Chain A
Amino acid sequence: MRDSTVDSPLVEVLNLSVRFPVKRGGAFGRTSYLYAVDDVSFDIRRGETLAIVGESGSGKTTTALAVARLVAACDGEVKVAGQDFLKLDDQALRKARARLQFIFQDPYSSLNPRLRAEKIVREPLDSMETVPAADRQGIVDKLFKAVGLHPEQQRLFPHQFSGGQRQRIGIARALATQPELVICDEAVSALDVAVQAQILNLLKALQAEFDLTYLFISHDLGVVQHMCDTIAVMYMGRIVEYADRLSLFNSPKHPYTVALLSAVPSVDKERRAETRRILIPGDPPDPVNLPPGCRFANRCPVAQDICRQTDPALRSLPSGHRVACHLVSEDGTPPLTP
């Protein structure tokens, strides 16, 4: 018999929504709400990587922040290893946060410039008090080694490191409390390509070594393709397509995903020759006054009347692929191909 804890996903997110109040029309204006994350559900199996992709403003980061309860969700459930994160009281939440850590985008502003590297990595241990004080230095030593930094660099301050090395410190800090879930929010976007490769390889190696589960947020589809097992495409707060890596990249269904993939420049000659670039004109609609139908309808090259009238729900195709588009047929034939 298989162990059910291994089989059940580490992270289960159900109908998560986050809204922000927006006041318009001066002092007497009415408060309306902007749904930055709107009814989003996904799960991540232990040791795997879920990537969330989408344009800026699509709700990727807000989703991640809501999962960690760094912004308040207005609706939904977030279960990490069976524990409902959104229902925990402050004390329990503090404890539970040890299981979940962040790696941030900007290695320059995410490290305290006044602390030595060892203190930065040690701080989560001191704060969480999960291990006795006497053991903490040993853990810091191990972490420095794991992320490829020299022991003598522990005494240095952040400004004495290069961007890639700083990101390594950020990773060591994230791993200090032995988290199960690590949220990488554009973790390599600020790095030069050569350094980016070093960090991506490191993240992969650490995932295997410590059995980490990643929620990987990026706008770079090449990087996502390399890192993820499953991928969720977000557009204006919604997941519009959700599938495993191979089916999403090799047979995208949603017109937005198709356009997004076609826009990525590639060095692959065959891909360039056979990919028709689909330009999506215009801008996304006003997030406060959403149109009644599909949120992508005003930019979609194949939109029909139904798309402008009815909001499509995320539905499963026979292949397991999930998509929110009226025009994808029952058997999964997409309305638009590159």
Chain B
Amino acid sequence: MAPLLKVENLRIELTTRKGVAPVIDDLSFELGAGESISFVGESGCGKSMTALGIMGLLPEKIGRIASGSITFNGEELTTASDKRMRDLRGNEISMIFQEPMTSLNPVYTVGEQIAEVLRAHQGLGRKAAWEQATELLDAVRIPNARGRVGDYPFQMSGGQRQRVMIAIALACKPRILIADEPTTALDVTVQAQIFDLLNDLRRQTGTAIIMITHDMGAVAEMAERMIVMYAGRNAEQGPVEQIIDHPRHPYTRGLISCVPHLMKVLTEERHTLTEVPGIVPSLSEFGRDQCLFASRCPQVTQQCLDKRPPEMAFADDQRSACWHAEDI
């Protein structure tokens, strides 16, 4: 079966004062219907840019898709008209953002904001849209939905606002939901509720989820496959469990071991955290014909500095862009 979303050799360029930089550099991946995939990596590695590229929301005049293709359900999105993209956004692909505090309009009630989507995309009347907005609030588990639908965003907690965002995103039963750090601003108990909600909705509606995060634990809970991004490139991708058990890229390994995780049983012993020294390279270094992780890598060799590593394939479609992937 053809995948729902297919991204091939995608290159997105940003024009900065210092010149043109490839913020996404030769990225390929597939997403099946109802599948859950996660993008991980530090800030500035291109996770959000990938999402904006898919949504057709790259910053105007600054960002553009330079080459490659994005096909959704067999339809090419990179050449689609603005009108067609507007139709797809919200209807077929929707997105929720990190900041539930700022992504809602403070002067409209949450009911109006959910109903607006239904009226714009599904041509519902005022009353029918309001009715359905109430049902959606109930579906995202806001208690007493009928009483809360007329509330303004400031009357809700952070977790409730994020649920409203999810209700808006799911209003038209999209095939793909992109969640960009959906729980970063929320408490861990609220995060657990949101994850639970997203998983249930995925089961019920068959919506595929692309989640962007920096938390490996969240990836392990939520996704089937993951893509580790570094400096605009795919560092490694494959099944989540397999990558956590046996990462094939030093960056993935660093990301997993630099975080103190809660384990089943805690012991007296505490290791020094593995450090990934340095920081993500600046945009001006993106696109060089070398491994961009080389300056931070403990296993760097001359080869890494001379030539960009190709993707090496392993079992179950685990792929790593590292010259030394086989030895790791």
Q: Chain A: residues with CB nearer than 8 A to chain B?
A: 55-56, 162, 164, 192-198, 200-201, 204, 219, 221-223, 225-226, 245-246, 249-250, 259-272, 274-275, 277, 279-283
Judging by beta carbons under 8 Å apart, are B187 and A56 in contact? yes
Tell me the chain B residues, 213-240 only, with Cβ under 8 Å from chain A.
214-218, 220-222
In the complex, what residue of chain B is closest to A282 when comparing beta carbons?
A: B143
Q: Quick one: which of B192, B256, B264 contacts A277, CB cutoff 8 A?
A: B192
Judging by beta carbons under 8 Å apart, are A192 and B264 in contact? no
Judging by beta carbons under 8 Å apart, are A197 and B220 in contact? no
In the complex, what residue of chain B is closest to A260 when comparing beta carbons?
A: B189
In the complex, what residue of chain A is closest to B279 when comparing beta carbons?
A: A162
Judging by beta carbons under 8 Å apart, are A164 and B279 in contact? yes
Give the Cβ gap from A266 to chain B, nearest Cβ, in Å: 5
Known: A250-B265, A266-B220, A277-B192. 6 other contacts (CB 8 A): A194-B258, A196-B258, A197-B273, A246-B267, A261-B262, A265-B195
Judging by beta carbons under 8 Å apart, are B188 and A263 in contact? yes
Q: In the complex where A277-B192, A279-B193 touch, is A264 in contact with B275 (Cβ < 8 A)?
A: no
Judging by beta carbons under 8 Å apart, are A193 and B214 in contact? yes
Q: Quick one: which of A198, A246, A268 contacts B275, CB cutoff 8 A?
A: A198
CA A281 to CA B141, docked complex, whole Å: 9
In the complex, what residue of chain A is closest to B45 when comparing beta carbons?
A: A192
Which B residues are in CB contact (< 8 Å) with A250?
A: 265-266
Tell me the chain B residues, 177-196 only, with Cβ under 8 Å from chain A.
187-193, 195-196
Decide yes or no whether B254 CB sits under 8 A from chain A: yes
Judging by beta carbons under 8 Å apart, are A193 and B217 in contact? no
Which A residues are in CB contact (< 8 Å) with B214?
A: 192-193
Judging by beta carbons under 8 Å apart, are B266 and A225 in contact? yes
Give the Cβ gap from A201 to chain B, nearest Cβ, in Å: 6
In the complex, what residue of chain B is closest to A202 when comparing beta carbons?
A: B275
Judging by beta carbons under 8 Å apart, are A269 and B241 in contact? yes
Which B residues are in CB contact (< 8 Å) with A263?
A: 188-189, 191-192
Give the Cβ gap from B151 to chain A, nearest Cβ, in Å: 13
Which B residues are in CB contact (< 8 Å) with A269?
A: 241, 244-245
Q: In the complex where A194-B276, A198-B275 touch, is A266 in contact with B258 (Cβ < 8 A)?
A: no
Which A residues are in CB contact (< 8 Å) with B270?
A: 226
A-B contact pairs, 19 of them (CB 8 A): A164-B279, A192-B43, A192-B279, A194-B42, A194-B254, A194-B255, A194-B279, A195-B279, A197-B258, A204-B272, A221-B262, A222-B259, A222-B262, A263-B191, A264-B217, A265-B218, A265-B220, A266-B217, A279-B193
CA A194 to CA B157, docked complex, whole Å: 30
Q: In the complex where A201-B275, A272-B221, A279-B193 touch, is A193 in contact with B188 (Cβ < 8 A)?
A: no
Judging by beta carbons under 8 Å apart, are A274 and B264 in contact? yes
Most chain B beta-carbon contacts within 10 A, residue among A266, A272, A280: A266
Judging by beta carbons under 8 Å apart, are A271 and B263 in contact? yes
In the complex, what residue of chain A is closest to B193 when comparing beta carbons?
A: A279
Judging by beta carbons under 8 Å apart, are A267 and B266 in contact? no
Give the Cβ gap from B277 to chain A, nearest Cβ, in Å: 7
Q: In the complex where A164-B279, A265-B195 touch, is A226 in contact with B263 (Cβ < 8 A)?
A: no
Judging by beta carbons under 8 Å apart, are A271 and B262 in contact? yes
Q: In the complex where A197-B276, A201-B273, A265-B221 touch, is A279 in contact with B196 (Cβ < 8 A)?
A: yes
Judging by beta carbons under 8 Å apart, are A222 and B255 in contact? no
Which A residues are in CB contact (< 8 Å) with B59?
A: none
Give the Cβ gap from B322 to chain A, nearest Cβ, in Å: 17
Give the Cβ gap from A321 to chain B, nearest Cβ, in Å: 15
In the complex, what residue of chain A is closest to B196 when comparing beta carbons?
A: A279
CA A57 to CA B223, docked complex, whole Å: 30
Q: Quick one: which of A164, A200, A225, A283 contacts B262, CB cutoff 8 A?
A: A225
Decide yes or no whether B103 CB sits under 8 A from chain A: no
Judging by beta carbons under 8 Å apart, are B191 and A267 in contact? no
Q: Quick one: which of A196, A260, A268, A280 contacts B264, CB cutoff 8 A?
A: A268
0 or 1 for each of B247-287: is its CB under 8 Å from A? (1 = yes): 00000001110111111111110101111110110000000
Which A residues are in CB contact (< 8 Å) with B218?
A: 265
Which B residues are in CB contact (< 8 Å) with A260?
A: 188-189
Which B residues are in CB contact (< 8 Å) with A274?
A: 264
CA A261 to CA B241, docked complex, whole Å: 22
CA A133 to CA B258, docked complex, whole Å: 40
Which B residues are in CB contact (< 8 Å) with A262?
A: 192
Q: What 4 A-B pairs are tightest by C-beta distance, nearest first?
A: A226-B260, A265-B217, A263-B192, A197-B258
Give the Cβ gap from B271 to chain A, nearest Cβ, in Å: 9
Judging by beta carbons under 8 Å apart, are B260 and A200 in contact? yes
Most chain A beta-carbon contacts within 10 A, residue among B157, B190, B258: B258
Which B residues are in CB contact (< 8 Å) with A164?
A: 279
Q: Quick one: which of B221, B255, B268, B272 contacts A201, CB cutoff 8 A?
A: B272
Q: In the complex where A197-B276, A260-B189, A277-B192 touch, is A270 in contact with B264 (Cβ < 8 A)?
A: yes
Which A residues are in CB contact (< 8 Å) with B260?
A: 200, 222-223, 225-226
In the complex, what residue of chain B is closest to A53 when comparing beta carbons?
A: B188
Judging by beta carbons under 8 Å apart, are B220 and A279 in contact? no
In the complex, what residue of chain B is closest to A247 when comparing beta carbons?
A: B266
